[in-house]
Chains A and B, each alone.
Chain A
Protein backbone atom coordinates (compact mmCIF):
# COMPACT_ATOMS: atom_id res chain seq x y z
CA UNK A 1 0.00 0.00 0.00
CA UNK A 2 1.40 3.42 -0.96
CA UNK A 3 1.56 6.24 1.58
CA UNK A 4 -1.46 8.01 0.13
CA UNK A 5 -3.47 4.79 0.22
CA UNK A 6 -2.53 4.31 3.88
CA UNK A 7 -3.56 7.90 4.60
CA UNK A 8 -6.93 7.32 2.92
CA UNK A 9 -7.41 4.16 4.96
CA UNK A 10 -6.76 6.05 8.23
CA UNK A 11 -9.12 8.86 7.17
CA UNK A 12 -11.88 6.37 6.39
CA UNK A 13 -11.44 3.98 9.28
CA UNK A 14 -10.00 5.99 12.17
CA UNK A 15 -11.46 9.41 11.48
CA UNK A 16 -14.74 8.96 9.62
CA UNK A 17 -15.95 5.64 11.02
CA UNK A 18 -14.41 5.41 14.49
CA UNK A 19 -13.96 9.04 15.53
CA UNK A 20 -17.27 10.20 14.04
CA UNK A 21 -19.00 6.95 15.03
CA UNK A 22 -20.68 6.39 11.66
CA UNK A 23 -21.85 3.01 12.84
CA UNK A 24 -23.94 2.06 9.83
CA UNK A 25 -21.22 2.77 7.25
CA UNK A 26 -18.33 0.46 6.40
CA UNK A 27 -14.87 1.43 5.11
CA UNK A 28 -15.56 -0.23 1.77
CA UNK A 29 -18.74 1.85 1.36
CA UNK A 30 -16.74 5.09 1.28
CA UNK A 31 -15.29 5.82 -2.12
CA UNK A 32 -12.36 8.18 -2.38
CA UNK A 33 -14.42 10.79 -4.21
CA UNK A 34 -17.66 10.48 -2.25
CA UNK A 35 -18.73 13.96 -1.08
CA UNK A 36 -18.51 14.15 2.72
CA UNK A 37 -20.95 17.04 3.15
CA UNK A 38 -24.28 18.05 1.62
CA UNK A 39 -24.69 14.66 -0.09
CA UNK A 40 -22.84 11.36 0.08
CA UNK A 41 -21.90 10.82 3.73
CA UNK A 42 -24.07 13.78 4.77
CA UNK A 43 -21.76 15.00 7.54
CA UNK A 44 -22.77 18.15 9.42
CA UNK A 45 -20.66 21.13 10.44
CA UNK A 46 -19.79 19.82 13.91
CA UNK A 47 -18.64 16.57 12.30
CA UNK A 48 -16.48 18.71 10.00
CA UNK A 49 -14.77 20.03 13.10
CA UNK A 50 -14.24 16.50 14.30
CA UNK A 51 -12.59 15.65 10.97
CA UNK A 52 -10.33 18.68 11.39
CA UNK A 53 -9.41 17.51 14.92
CA UNK A 54 -8.83 13.99 13.56
CA UNK A 55 -6.41 15.26 10.90
CA UNK A 56 -4.41 16.93 13.64
CA UNK A 57 -4.50 13.85 15.87
CA UNK A 58 -3.56 11.27 13.22
CA UNK A 59 -1.32 13.25 10.87
CA UNK A 60 -0.28 16.37 12.77
CA UNK A 61 -1.66 18.71 10.10
CA UNK A 62 -3.76 21.80 10.80
CA UNK A 63 -6.46 23.57 8.84
CA UNK A 64 -6.50 26.77 10.90
CA UNK A 65 -6.12 29.94 8.91
CA UNK A 66 -6.92 28.47 5.48
CA UNK A 67 -9.42 30.47 3.41
CA UNK A 68 -13.08 29.34 3.32
CA UNK A 69 -12.60 28.30 -0.34
CA UNK A 70 -9.61 26.12 0.52
CA UNK A 71 -11.35 24.75 3.62
CA UNK A 72 -14.31 23.65 1.53
CA UNK A 73 -12.06 22.15 -1.13
CA UNK A 74 -9.91 20.13 1.30
CA UNK A 75 -12.92 18.76 3.15
CA UNK A 76 -14.80 17.76 0.02
CA UNK A 77 -13.80 14.08 -0.06
CA UNK A 78 -11.35 11.49 1.28
CA UNK A 79 -9.23 12.02 -1.85
CA UNK A 80 -8.97 15.78 -1.22
CA UNK A 81 -8.23 15.28 2.48
CA UNK A 82 -5.47 12.79 1.67
CA UNK A 83 -3.95 15.13 -0.92
CA UNK A 84 -4.01 17.92 1.67
CA UNK A 85 -2.27 15.71 4.26
CA UNK A 86 0.43 14.76 1.72
CA UNK A 87 0.90 18.40 0.61
CA UNK A 88 1.32 19.44 4.26
CA UNK A 89 3.89 16.71 4.83
CA UNK A 90 1.64 14.91 7.31
CA UNK A 91 2.78 11.53 8.63
CA UNK A 92 0.69 8.77 10.11
CA UNK A 93 1.18 9.02 13.88
CA UNK A 94 2.64 5.81 15.24
Chain B
Protein backbone atom coordinates (compact mmCIF):
# COMPACT_ATOMS: atom_id res chain seq x y z
CA UNK B 1 0.00 0.00 0.00
CA UNK B 2 1.33 3.39 -0.98
CA UNK B 3 2.41 5.48 2.00
CA UNK B 4 4.10 8.84 2.22
CA UNK B 5 6.10 10.07 5.20
CA UNK B 6 7.56 13.46 6.03
CA UNK B 7 10.25 14.48 8.46
CA UNK B 8 11.19 18.04 9.37
CA UNK B 9 14.82 18.85 9.90
CA UNK B 10 15.83 21.21 12.66
CA UNK B 11 18.60 23.76 12.39
CA UNK B 12 21.48 21.78 13.80
CA UNK B 13 21.38 18.18 14.82
CA UNK B 14 23.11 17.08 17.98
CA UNK B 15 26.47 15.47 17.12
CA UNK B 16 25.72 12.32 19.08
CA UNK B 17 22.47 11.78 17.18
CA UNK B 18 24.24 12.53 13.90
CA UNK B 19 26.83 9.85 14.69
CA UNK B 20 24.20 7.37 15.86
CA UNK B 21 22.27 7.66 12.61
CA UNK B 22 25.46 7.58 10.55
CA UNK B 23 26.43 4.27 12.17
CA UNK B 24 23.21 2.71 10.81
CA UNK B 25 24.27 3.28 7.21
CA UNK B 26 26.63 1.23 5.09
CA UNK B 27 30.24 2.28 4.78
CA UNK B 28 29.92 3.68 1.28
CA UNK B 29 27.03 5.94 2.28
CA UNK B 30 28.88 7.08 5.39
CA UNK B 31 31.79 8.17 3.20
CA UNK B 32 29.49 10.05 0.83
CA UNK B 33 27.81 11.87 3.70
CA UNK B 34 31.18 12.92 5.10
CA UNK B 35 32.04 14.49 1.74
CA UNK B 36 29.29 17.11 1.75
CA UNK B 37 30.66 20.65 1.99
CA UNK B 38 27.77 21.94 4.06
CA UNK B 39 26.51 20.43 7.28
CA UNK B 40 22.84 20.96 6.38
CA UNK B 41 23.25 18.94 3.16
CA UNK B 42 24.92 16.11 5.08
CA UNK B 43 22.12 16.26 7.64
CA UNK B 44 19.37 16.15 5.00
CA UNK B 45 20.98 13.18 3.27
CA UNK B 46 21.44 11.43 6.59
CA UNK B 47 17.78 11.89 7.50
CA UNK B 48 16.66 10.67 4.08
CA UNK B 49 18.62 7.48 4.67
CA UNK B 50 17.23 7.09 8.17
CA UNK B 51 13.68 7.46 6.86
CA UNK B 52 14.24 4.84 4.15
CA UNK B 53 15.82 2.34 6.50
CA UNK B 54 13.27 2.70 9.29
CA UNK B 55 10.22 2.46 7.05
CA UNK B 56 11.67 -0.50 5.14
CA UNK B 57 12.46 -2.26 8.46
CA UNK B 58 8.86 -1.74 9.50
CA UNK B 59 7.14 -2.56 6.22
CA UNK B 60 9.25 -5.61 5.40
CA UNK B 61 9.78 -6.71 9.02
CA UNK B 62 13.52 -7.02 8.56
CA UNK B 63 16.58 -5.81 10.41
CA UNK B 64 18.45 -2.68 9.41
CA UNK B 65 21.64 -4.67 8.82
CA UNK B 66 19.77 -6.87 6.30
CA UNK B 67 18.91 -3.87 4.15
CA UNK B 68 21.34 -3.36 1.33
CA UNK B 69 20.58 -0.31 -0.79
CA UNK B 70 22.03 -0.44 -4.27
CA UNK B 71 21.70 1.94 -7.21
CA UNK B 72 21.01 1.52 -10.89
CA UNK B 73 23.32 3.15 -13.43
CA UNK B 74 21.39 6.44 -13.22
CA UNK B 75 21.65 6.51 -9.45
CA UNK B 76 18.11 5.40 -8.52
CA UNK B 77 18.31 3.44 -5.27
CA UNK B 78 16.53 0.18 -4.60
CA UNK B 79 16.69 -2.65 -2.09
CA UNK B 80 18.92 -5.55 -3.07
CA UNK B 81 17.10 -8.91 -3.30
CA UNK B 82 13.70 -7.38 -2.49
CA UNK B 83 12.36 -6.39 -5.91
CA UNK B 84 8.82 -5.79 -4.64
CA UNK B 85 9.91 -2.91 -2.38
CA UNK B 86 9.82 0.47 -4.09
CA UNK B 87 10.67 3.75 -2.48
CA UNK B 88 11.64 7.25 -3.37
CA UNK B 89 13.00 10.15 -1.35
CA UNK B 90 13.02 13.89 -1.91
CA UNK B 91 14.24 16.78 0.18
CA UNK B 92 14.08 20.52 -0.03
CA UNK B 93 14.49 23.25 2.56
CA UNK B 94 13.49 21.89 5.95
CA UNK B 95 11.62 18.82 4.72
CA UNK B 96 12.51 15.26 3.85
CA UNK B 97 9.74 13.14 2.33
CA UNK B 98 9.68 9.47 1.40
CA UNK B 99 7.14 7.41 -0.56
CA UNK B 100 6.97 3.63 -0.17
CA UNK B 101 4.95 1.08 -2.14
CA UNK B 102 4.98 -2.33 -3.76
CA UNK B 103 4.81 -0.60 -7.14
CA UNK B 104 7.13 2.00 -8.69
CA UNK B 105 6.69 5.40 -7.07
CA UNK B 106 8.23 8.85 -7.42
CA UNK B 107 8.06 11.87 -5.16
CA UNK B 108 9.32 15.42 -5.42
CA UNK B 109 9.14 18.26 -2.94
CA UNK B 110 10.40 21.76 -3.67
CA UNK B 111 10.55 24.84 -1.54
CA UNK B 112 9.14 27.70 -3.57
CA UNK B 113 12.01 30.14 -3.93
CA UNK B 114 12.19 33.12 -6.19
CA UNK B 115 13.54 32.08 -9.59
CA UNK B 116 14.38 33.71 -12.87
CA UNK B 117 11.31 32.46 -14.75
CA UNK B 118 12.98 33.13 -18.10
CA UNK B 119 14.54 29.73 -17.68
CA UNK B 120 11.07 28.12 -17.71
CA UNK B 121 11.18 28.43 -21.49
CA UNK B 122 14.08 25.98 -21.57
CA UNK B 123 12.67 23.61 -18.98
CA UNK B 124 8.92 23.31 -19.48
CA UNK B 125 7.21 21.72 -22.45
CA UNK B 126 6.22 24.40 -24.97
CA UNK B 127 2.50 23.96 -24.26
CA UNK B 128 3.02 24.37 -20.48
CA UNK B 129 5.29 27.37 -20.92
CA UNK B 130 2.65 29.06 -23.07
CA UNK B 131 0.02 28.22 -20.46
CA UNK B 132 2.25 29.83 -17.81
CA UNK B 133 2.38 33.05 -19.79
CA UNK B 134 -1.43 33.15 -19.86
CA UNK B 135 -1.79 33.22 -16.09
CA UNK B 136 -1.25 36.30 -13.96
CA UNK B 137 2.33 37.04 -13.03
CA UNK B 138 1.89 36.52 -9.29
CA UNK B 139 0.82 32.90 -9.86
CA UNK B 140 3.53 31.91 -12.34
CA UNK B 141 6.13 30.79 -9.84
CA UNK B 142 3.66 28.36 -8.20
CA UNK B 143 2.66 27.08 -11.62
CA UNK B 144 6.30 26.52 -12.60
CA UNK B 145 7.05 24.59 -9.41
CA UNK B 146 3.91 22.51 -9.85
CA UNK B 147 4.94 21.55 -13.39
CA UNK B 148 8.48 20.89 -12.21
CA UNK B 149 7.52 18.62 -9.30
CA UNK B 150 5.02 16.69 -11.43
CA UNK B 151 7.69 16.10 -14.08
CA UNK B 152 10.37 15.26 -11.53
CA UNK B 153 8.15 12.82 -9.62
CA UNK B 154 7.42 11.03 -12.90
CA UNK B 155 11.09 10.89 -13.94
CA UNK B 156 12.05 9.73 -10.46
CA UNK B 157 9.44 6.96 -10.60
CA UNK B 158 11.00 5.74 -13.86
CA UNK B 159 14.52 6.12 -12.47
CA UNK B 160 16.06 6.99 -15.81
CA UNK B 161 17.43 10.41 -14.91
CA UNK B 162 16.62 13.95 -15.92
CA UNK B 163 16.34 15.56 -19.31
CA UNK B 164 14.89 18.85 -20.46
CA UNK B 165 12.46 20.03 -21.60
CA UNK B 166 10.10 18.12 -19.33
CA UNK B 167 7.21 16.14 -20.81
CA UNK B 168 4.02 18.23 -20.91
CA UNK B 169 1.54 17.92 -18.05
CA UNK B 170 -1.01 16.51 -20.47
CA UNK B 171 1.40 13.81 -21.62
CA UNK B 172 2.38 12.98 -18.04
CA UNK B 173 -1.23 12.55 -16.98
CA UNK B 174 -1.76 10.06 -19.81
CA UNK B 175 1.16 7.99 -18.59
CA UNK B 176 0.81 7.89 -14.79
CA UNK B 177 -1.27 9.06 -11.83
CA UNK B 178 -0.37 12.10 -9.72
CA UNK B 179 -1.40 13.71 -6.48
CA UNK B 180 -0.34 17.01 -4.95
CA UNK B 181 -0.14 17.38 -1.18
CA UNK B 182 -0.05 20.50 0.99
CA UNK B 183 2.64 19.82 3.55
CA UNK B 184 3.68 23.35 4.35
CA UNK B 185 3.15 26.83 2.97
CA UNK B 186 5.88 27.67 0.43
CA UNK B 187 6.39 24.04 -0.57
CA UNK B 188 4.98 22.03 -3.47
CA UNK B 189 4.84 18.27 -3.25
CA UNK B 190 3.92 15.86 -6.05
CA UNK B 191 3.57 12.12 -5.82
CA UNK B 192 3.53 9.88 -8.89
CA UNK B 193 2.38 6.28 -9.13
CA UNK B 194 1.35 3.73 -11.74
CA UNK B 195 -1.95 3.26 -9.85
CA UNK B 196 -4.35 5.78 -8.40
CA UNK B 197 -4.70 4.49 -4.85
CA UNK B 198 -3.10 7.44 -3.12
CA UNK B 199 -3.14 7.93 0.64
CA UNK B 200 -5.30 10.79 1.90
CA UNK B 201 -2.63 12.19 4.17
CA UNK B 202 1.07 12.37 4.72
CA UNK B 203 2.34 10.58 7.83
CA UNK B 204 4.48 12.96 9.89
CA UNK B 205 7.36 11.36 11.70
CA UNK B 206 10.51 12.36 13.59
CA UNK B 207 14.01 11.10 14.39
CA UNK B 208 12.99 9.55 17.70
CA UNK B 209 10.20 7.48 16.15
CA UNK B 210 12.40 6.33 13.28
CA UNK B 211 15.25 5.26 15.55
CA UNK B 212 12.76 3.39 17.72
CA UNK B 213 11.44 1.45 14.70
CA UNK B 214 14.97 0.42 13.74
CA UNK B 215 15.81 -0.62 17.31
CA UNK B 216 12.64 -2.69 17.62
CA UNK B 217 13.47 -4.65 14.45
CA UNK B 218 17.02 -5.24 15.65
Residues of B within 8 A of A66 (CB): 163
Residues of A within 8 A of B113 (CB): 46
Binds A, one of B59-67, B114-122, B176-184, B196-204: B114-122
Residues of A within 8 A of B110 (CB): 44-46
Are B37's CB and A40's CB within 8 A?
yes
Are A50's CB and B119's CB within 8 A?
yes
Residues of B within 8 A of A24 (CB): 38
* Cα distance A49–B115 in the bound complex, in angstroms: 10
B162 beta carbon closer than 8 Å to chain A: yes
Chain A 29-49 per-residue mask, 1 if CB under 8 angstroms from chain B, else 0: 100001100111110111011
Which chain B residue shows the least CB distance to A66? Answer: B163
B35 beta carbon closer than 8 Å to chain A: yes
Q: A41-B37, A42-B36 are in contact. Are A53 and B118 (CB under 8 A)?
A: yes
Are B74's CB and A68's CB within 8 A?
yes
B164 beta carbon closer than 8 Å to chain A: yes
Are A38's CB and B75's CB within 8 A?
yes
Are B45's CB and A42's CB within 8 A?
yes
Number of CB contacts from chain A to chain B under 8 A:
83
A63 beta carbon closer than 8 Å to chain B: yes
A35, A42, A67: the one within 8 Å of B163 (CB): A67
* Cα distance A80–B119 in the bound complex, in angstroms: 22
B37, B123, B152: the one within 8 Å of A42 (CB): B37
A64 beta carbon closer than 8 Å to chain B: yes
Residues of A within 8 A of B187 (CB): none
Would you give the shortest CB distance from A77 to chain B, in whole angstroms? 13
* Cα distance A44–B18 in the bound complex, in angstroms: 22
Q: A38-B32, A46-B110, A50-B119 are in contact. Are A64 and B148 (CB under 8 A)?
A: no
Residues of B within 8 A of A48 (CB): 162
Which chain B residue shows the least CB distance to A44? Answer: B92
The residues in B between 82 and 128 inclusive whose CB is less than 8 angstroms from any CB of A are 91-92, 108, 110, 113, 115-116, 118-119, 122-123
Are B164's CB and A63's CB within 8 A?
yes
Are A53's CB and B119's CB within 8 A?
yes
* Cα distance A61–B36 in the bound complex, in angstroms: 28
A25 beta carbon closer than 8 Å to chain B: yes
Are B115's CB and A46's CB within 8 A?
yes
Would you give the shortest CB distance from A13 to chain B, in whole angstroms? 16
Are B152's CB and A52's CB within 8 A?
no
A14 beta carbon closer than 8 Å to chain B: no
- The listed residue with most B CB atoms (<10 A of its CB), out of A25, A45, A71, is A45
* Cα distance A68–B75 in the bound complex, in angstroms: 11
The residues in B between 121 and 174 inclusive whose CB is less than 8 angstroms from any CB of A are 122-123, 148, 152, 155, 160-165
Residues of B within 8 A of A69 (CB): 73-74, 161
Q: What are 15 sample pairs from A and B whose C-beta atoms fall under 8 A apart?
A: A34-B37, A40-B37, A41-B38, A42-B36, A42-B45, A44-B92, A45-B162, A49-B164, A52-B119, A65-B164, A67-B163, A68-B160, A69-B74, A71-B163, A72-B162
